[in-house]
């Protein structure tokens, strides 16, 4: 396997990466009272030292009462929480890495299994949860303006703390995606509508405000998924034309990179082409894209979260697509939980030393 192509530097605005490998954002639920801990700083530093080019943090929530549905998710607001993140980015830079926080509002969620509830009711586009059932509250225009401002405030904090970029979590059925999705967005005002392009307005306002706060030179990544929780075959954009109509206003609003979440990167997005989601997103938007999903592993991540193990897999198919120019960056999740040195081992072609993923990797942050 010659993976040298993945180890070319990548430059875009504020991003200066030593290679094209990205640590995918992964919720770890180890924060205490919303504050990321020094152990997490060591965890991220260990991955930076293992040579992954860019680290995207676990989802970290903006300043709204119900932006999280569990208590041990890190906040990205308030002096103590931001001091924790300062420690993280300094540790990553010290190890020669680059990093962006994944800014998150979960939206209208199911109650957490622990029974914990946020201080204010869950909120979403239409007061419908991700199964389409009535729950929580429907956002007013004033709420929406406050959420947009909270994303902007978090973005500015990311820049001020010295992060290299930021990612907005617009995937997997959380708030931004709840606006995209017709099951959860039944609004008839300017934030709703029959077409996916019409339901993109909330995300556009978030991106515009984030861009206004961080300036032109700071890289903004937007994570999107066609699939939805419990409906993995779902496609928001059912054709290349719909995909283009979805992404064009987001690119115009200021997105630099689309992070295209798939469970298996090799699955084609539309008929009559083997291009995957990231491949099509790059083709129709002209923007850089990140691919993700079972790179270097046999099983996919949701089965992994349920406890299924996965074995190392060849990167040949990934490299075929990368060398064809389908996408610019490649994100990996579970391989980096199992082994902080995964990227270095790939660079040095130490394939015999690659590890599989087992659920044991989820029990701790720093790998011994
Ligand atoms: C433990 C765990 C937590 C995750 N948390 C998030 C998250 O906070 N935000 C997000 O966008 N994706 C999250 N994901 C999805 C990953 O970013 C990634 O897309 C997925 O694991 C597929 O990559 P992989 O096959 O290399 O693991 C999570 C995945 C795992 C395994």
Assess whether pLDDT exceeds 90 at residue 40. Answer: yes
- According to the model, what pLDDT value does residue 51 have? 98
Write phi, then psi, for 48 (nearest 5 degrees): -65, -40
Q: What is residue 152's three-state secondary structure?
A: helix
d(CA 246, CA 190): 15
Please give the distance, rounded to the nearest whole angstrom, from the Cα atom of residue 298 to the centre of ligand 1: 15
Which atom of ligand 1 lies at the shortest distance from residue 223's CA?
A: 11
In b/e form, how buried is each residue of 322-356, taking b as 16+ CB within 10 angstroms?
beeebbbbbbbbbbbbbbbbbbebbbeeeeeebbb
Assess whether pLDDT exceeds 90 at residue 67. Answer: yes
d(CA 43, CA 49): 10
Rounded average pLDDT over 128-132: 90
What is the overall mean pLDDT for the chain? 97
Asked if 234 is an active-site residue, the reply is no
Residues 263-299 have pLDDT tens digits of 999 999 999 999 999 999 999 999 999 999 999 999 8
Assess whether pLDDT exceeds 90 at residue 304. Answer: no
Residues 150-196 have pLDDT tens digits of 999 999 999 999 999 999 999 999 999 999 999 999 999 999 999 99
The CA distances from residue 330 to 194, 259, 265, 291, in Å, are 33, 9, 10, 5
> Do residues 300 and 311 touch, judged by C-beta distance below 8 A?
no
Ligand 1: residue whose CA is nearest its atom 24: 333
Write phi, then psi, for 211 (nearest 5 degrees): -60, -40
d(CA 109, CA 92): 32
d(CA 269, CA 273): 8
Answer yes or no: is the C-beta of 101 below 6 A from any ligand 1 atom: no
Percent of the chain with pLDDT over 70: 100
Answer yes or no: is the C-beta of 305 below 6 A from any ligand 1 atom: yes
- According to the model, what pLDDT value does residue 203 have? 98
d(CA 39, CA 88): 9
Answer yes or no: is the C-beta of 261 below 6 A from any ligand 1 atom: yes
pLDDT band at 32 (very low <50, low <70, confident <90, very high): very high
Give 276-289 as a DSSP string.
Answer: -HHHHHHHHH-SEE
For ligand 1, pick from 22, 26, 168, 346 the residue to mutate: most ligand atoms within 8 Å of CB: 26
Assess whether pLDDT exceeds 80 at residue 328. Answer: yes
- According to the model, what pLDDT value does residue 230 have? 87
Which of 77-86, 106-115, 267-276, 332-341 is least confident? Answer: 106-115
- According to the model, what pLDDT value does residue 130 have? 86
Rounded average pLDDT over 317-324: 98
Rounded average pLDDT over 85-95: 98
Among 23, 9, 17, 47, residue whose Cα is nearest residue 330: 23
CA 89 to chain centre: 17
Give 287-319 as a DSSP string.
Answer: SEEEEESSTTBSS-HHHHHTT--B-B--SHHHH
d(CA 315, CA 26): 22
Answer yes or no: is the C-beta of 73 below 6 A from any ligand 1 atom: no
pLDDT band at 124 (very low <50, low <70, confident <90, very high): very high
- According to the model, what pLDDT value does residue 2 have? 84
> Do residues 88 and 163 touch, judged by C-beta distance below 8 A?
no
> Do residues 329 and 52 touch, judged by C-beta distance below 8 A?
no
> Do residues 206 and 220 touch, judged by C-beta distance below 8 A?
no
Q: What is residue 354's three-state secondary structure?
A: coil
Percent of the chain with pLDDT over 90: 95
Rounded average pLDDT over 78-107: 98
Rounded average pLDDT over 13-28: 98
- H-helix or E-strand containing 101? strand 98-104
Answer yes or no: is the C-beta of 304 below 6 A from any ligand 1 atom: yes
Q: At what angle do helices 240-253 and 201-214 cross, to 10 degrees?
A: 30
User: Which residue of the set 174, 191, 232, 234 is catalytic?
Assistant: 174
């Amino acid at each position: 396997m010659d993976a040298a192509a993945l180890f070319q530097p990548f430059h875009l605005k504020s991003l200066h990466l030593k290679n094209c490998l990205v640590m995918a954002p992964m919720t770890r639920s180890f924060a205490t009272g919303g504050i990321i801990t020094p152990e997490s700083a060591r965890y991220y530093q260990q991955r930076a030292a293992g040579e992954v080019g860019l680290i995207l943090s676990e989802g970290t929530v903006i300043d709204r009462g119900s932006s999280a549905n569990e208590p041990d998710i890190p906040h990205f607001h308030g002096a103590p929480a931001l001091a924790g993140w300062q420690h993280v980015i300094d540790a990553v830079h010290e190890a020669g890495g680059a990093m962006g926080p994944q800014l998150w509002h979960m939206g209208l969620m199911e109650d957490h299994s622990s029974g914990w509830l946020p201080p204010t009711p869950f909120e979403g586009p239409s007061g419908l949860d991700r199964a389409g059932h009535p729950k929580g509250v429907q956002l007013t225009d004033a709420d929406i303006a406050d959420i947009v401002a909270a994303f902007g405030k978090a973005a500015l904090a990311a820049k001020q703390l010295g992060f290299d970029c930021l990612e907005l979590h617009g995937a997997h059925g959380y708030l931004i995606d709840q606006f995209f999705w017709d099951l959860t967005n039944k609004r008839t005002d300017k934030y709703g509508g029959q077409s996916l392009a019409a339901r993109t307005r909330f995300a556009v306002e978030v991106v515009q405000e984030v861009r206004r706060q961080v300036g032109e030179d700071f890289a903004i990544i937007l994570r999107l998924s066609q699939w939805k929780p419990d409906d993995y075959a779902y496609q928001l954009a059912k054709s290349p034309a719909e995909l283009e109509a979805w992404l064009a206003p987001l690119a115009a609003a200021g997105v630099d990179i689309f992070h295209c979440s798939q469970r298996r990167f090799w699955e084609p997005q539309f008929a009559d082409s083997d291009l995957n989601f990231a491949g099509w997103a790059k083709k129709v938007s002209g923007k850089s894209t990140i691919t993700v999903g079972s790179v270097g592993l046999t099983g996919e991540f949701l089965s992994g979260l349920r406890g299924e193990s996965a074995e190392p897999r060849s990167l040949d198919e990934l490299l075929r697509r990368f060398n064809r120019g389908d996408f610019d960056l490649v994100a990996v999740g579970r391989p980096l939980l199992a082994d902080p040195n995964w990227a270095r081992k790939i660079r040095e072609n130490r394939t015999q030393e690659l590890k599989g993923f087992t659920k044991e990797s989820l029990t701790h942050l720093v790998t011994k």
